[in-house]
Amino acid sequence: MNFWPSCKASHVLVALQKIGWRVSRQRGSHVILTRPGWPFFVFSYGRSVELGGRILARIAKKTGLTRDDLR
């Protein structure tokens, strides 16, 4: 069962930055994020795109994002 709420990609990007991810570089809608101790992560969603629960769960697995971080 998936309990991740759907939300805008811009909201997810802000939440990632709050937990320590920093924008290393950007080319178009592809944003490369870095965080010490983690491999880099490519966030490749337009800011107005609505992300569903399944993709949020995948992002969380690779970045350490939690549901509480999205509030």
Domain ranges of the chain: 7-70
> Cα separation of 6 and 55, whole Å?
9
The pTM of the full predicted model, rounded to 2 decimals, is 0.92
**Residue 61 half-sphere exposure toward CB, CA atoms < 13 A:** 6
| Residue corresponding to tokens 């570089």 | 25
pLDDT score, position 3: 85
Is residue 2 over pLDDT 80? no
Is residue 70 over pLDDT 60? yes
pLDDT score, position 60: 97
**Interval 10-66: pLDDT, tens:** 999 999 999 999 999 999 999 999 999 999 999 999 999 999 999 999 999 999 999
Homologous superfamily of 7-70 in CATH?
Hypothetical protein. (3.30.920.30)
